Structure 1
Amino acid sequence: MIGRRRSTGQHHGGLRKALEEAALALVAERGPHGFTLAEACRRAGVSVAAPYKHFADRDALLVSLAVKGYQEQDRRFTEACSASEDPTEQLAALAAAYVRFAYEEQALFDIMFNAGLDKTRHPELAEVVHALFDTLLPIARRVTGTEAAAFDLLICMASAAHGLAFFLQEGLPGDVQAPLAAAEERAARTARALVEQQLREASSPTTEDSEHGRESPRFSCG
């Protein structure tokens, strides 16, 4: 009886995709540091020499997935913003989308933030992160008026959403019936509160600033 052979289609155009899918499955099982490139090859059904046509090492494979993760975030954020013309509501939708992405794409999210990838060695990763901020900064700037304050606001929002996403993944007590919806609502509510705080601070310069005609301090979530 002749044994069934593995499909060899992945040795051509589908090799890169097969390796990425295998790595993503392994990350979901063991985390971004819990497997080797050889294991990804075995999971994909290819020889251990095959990946070097596309990836120099495991980090290069993870970088490719991280890039896809940031691109998917960008797509989701753009879609979330399209539901409203109000910048405050757009930022609230962004925060909720951040939480949903982390919940629905846990392996990608883990790679993006926990793999310890060096952006100086992989400029393509730095470029996609900058592209994501290029999407978000104009929205925040409609609230803050300056790019520096807009960046601060985004970092504060992302920090809050990131924490909520982490709590959601850890399954902390509360909102057992609809944990994702509750986390999304908290993220949106926090974003609105941060915008409100920014607007309050922007319209209330300190006494010293008023006396000397200086610009009021930049918004900070610290």
Structure 2
Amino acid sequence: MAVKRRPTGTHHGDLRNALEQAALALVGERGPHGFTLAEACRRAGVSVSAPYKHFADREALLASLALQGYQEQRRRYRIALAAHADPVEQLAAFATAYVRFAAEERALFDITFLAGIDKSRHPELARAGSGLHEDLMPVTGRLAPDQDSAFELLVQVAAAAHGLALFQQQDMLPGTWNSRDRVEAQAARTARALAARHTRGRERTGRRSAP
């Protein structure tokens, strides 16, 4: 529903949220590079000077939404991890949740990963992104023979899930293979296969070190 424009200078009760929702809608329609701050103002029904009370520029507005994207992802991933005790199934659930988030929250996903936000200007995004490392390293550490291998497994699973999410979004998989259910299942299978490979590496390391 369109928001009625308020007269210039009139207080907007929730200006920050109105601008964020307007930007999110525009990203959903045009992608993270397809709108201006002035367009977000018009969509929110506020004057073009209004954003500067909360956001220094367009990138700052997108950075605020990207932070929300990271927070929502982490919330979902923690729920996925908590649903399983076995670390292999935890990684499979994480990969599934990754693909699902990309499909269900397309605009937030695009802002978080495709907007080209300069993280040196927005260090809060780098800190938020490190949450994935903090949540998954204890899981991959139960499977891999050492910390370097655990980090490698984390990167491989996350990269595979990210790539599959993009494939599904961009219709790069043929026919029914591009359905969300099948892509989620593929992400889970890939995570299990990667975990199995690292588990075998841990077992080999254990045999070599045994007396």
TM-score by length of 1: 0.84
1:15 alignment partner AA: L
CA distance in 1 between partners of 2:138 and 2:204 (Å): 23
- Contact residue 144 and residue 201 of structure 2 kept, 8 A: no
> Per-residue displacement from partner, 1:15-71 (whole Å, max 9, x unpaired)?
111101110111111111111111100000001111001100000000001100010
Structure 1, 142-151 or 113-122: larger mean CA deviation: 142-151
Could you say which residue in structure 1 is the equivalent of 2:19? 19
Could you say which residue in structure 2 is the equivalent of 1:137? 137
- Contact residue 63 and residue 117 of structure 1 kept, 8 A: yes
1:131 to partner: Cα distance:
2.3
- Contact residue 41 and residue 48 of structure 2 kept, 8 A: yes
Structure 2's unaligned 5+ residue stretches are: none
Structure 1, 139-148 or 93-102: larger mean CA deviation: 139-148
Taking only the aligned residue pairs, the percentage that are identical comes to: 60
1:11 to partner: Cα distance:
4.1
Q: Which has the larger radius of gyration?
A: 1
Residues 125 and 11 of structure 1, relative CA distance in 2, 3 Å threshold: farther
Could you say which residue in structure 2 is the equivalent of 1:119? 119
CA distance in 2 between partners of 1:89 and 1:11 (Å): 50
- Contact residue 67 and residue 128 of structure 2 kept, 8 A: yes
Alignment partner of 1:152 is 2:152: yes
1:201 to partner: Cα distance:
2.1
1:170 alignment partner AA: Q
- Contact residue 70 and residue 132 of structure 1 kept, 8 A: no
CA distance in 1 between partners of 2:153 and 2:169 (Å): 24
For the aligned residues, what is the CA RMSD?
1.9
CA distance in 1 between partners of 2:11 and 2:18 (Å): 9
- Contact residue 74 and residue 132 of structure 2 kept, 8 A: yes
1:43 alignment partner AA: R
Could you say which residue in structure 2 is the equivalent of 1:175? 176
Could you say which residue in structure 2 is the equivalent of 1:219? none
CA distance in 2 between partners of 1:78 and 1:145 (Å): 24
2:95 alignment partner AA: A
TM-score by length of 2: 0.89
Could you say which residue in structure 1 is the equivalent of 2:110? 110
CA distance in 2 between partners of 1:115 and 1:66 (Å): 9
- Contact residue 157 and residue 194 of structure 1 kept, 8 A: yes
Could you say which residue in structure 2 is the equivalent of 1:83? 83
1:153 to partner: Cα distance:
0.8
Alignment partner of 1:203 is 2:198: no
- Contact residue 11 and residue 46 of structure 1 kept, 8 A: no
Residues 79 and 46 of structure 1, relative CA distance in 2, 3 Å threshold: same
2:63 alignment partner AA: V
Could you say which residue in structure 1 is the equivalent of 2:51? 51
CA distance in 2 between partners of 1:155 and 1:68 (Å): 22
SS, match of residue 33 in structure 1: coil
Could you say which residue in structure 2 is the equivalent of 1:185? 185
2:51 alignment partner AA: P
